[in-house]
Amino acid sequence: MAHIEDSFKAALYRITCPDSATLGNYFLGFLPDEAAVSIQDHLAICPLCTEEIAQLEAFLVETAVSPQPSTAERIKIWIAKRIPTGGQSRGGLGTPAFAIRGDDTGPLMYEAGDAQLSLEVQDDPEHPGRKAILGLVLGIETASVMVQLFFKEGEVGTAVSLDDLGNFTFTGLEAGKYELTLTGLDIEIQVQDLFI
């Protein structure tokens, strides 16, 4: 009985819960004060979101660059280089699994150290006039990778985590110039001057 009550409670909580991206933004201090306060209020009553924040925190502690990297290897920073995409890609990197539309431009392809990155920019069906980015990264450990997107003109950012297969999605984006950063346990990949 207690179990049933628990899962019922869980379902109830989740209806009013902010999504993971919003929680991530809250945690990183990206939200405007007003929005942050409402998340704070929600956290006070929601064990599930509190747990999610705790996981984010644990992740950041794990990935934090120590001020004295004595023996630990420094984090590798890779600047992504755009690869021209005419026809097939030599690296064998496919398009994201969910990119099934017959788009004529195709994804933007990047090489960054050992990693290959594909970014597909498209219209966001849920937000008219806005854009969405469907991304896929291969060649790195996908666990505990956070993807951050900074809108250069507005100096605002948003963050999502990478799924097990290396996929990530940003939606509701204004057109303009962005910078994308993938941060893992020992790597950071930067895509500078991303125009969408």
By beta-carbon proximity to Zn ion, the closer residue of 22 and 148 is 22
**Amino acid identity, residue 43?**
L
By beta-carbon proximity to Zn ion, the closer residue of 17 and 60 is 17
By beta-carbon proximity to Zn ion, the closer residue of 48 and 165 is 48
- Find the shortest distance in angstroms from Cβ 44 to Zn ion: 10
- Find the shortest distance in angstroms from Cβ 110 to Zn ion: 35
CA distances to 122, 125, 126, 132, 168 from 129, rounded to whole Å, are 11, 9, 9, 10, 21
- Find the shortest distance in angstroms from Cβ 55 to Zn ion: 13
Give the Cα separation of 61 and 53 in Å (integer).
12
Q: Give the tokens for residue 39.
A: 């998340």
Residues that bind Zn ion (CB under 5 A): 17, 46, 48-49
By beta-carbon proximity to Zn ion, the closer residue of 36 and 75 is 36
Q: Give the tokens for residue 56.
A: 């984010």
- Find the shortest distance in angstroms from Cβ 53 to Zn ion: 10
Give the Cα separation of 150 and 158 in Å (integer).
7
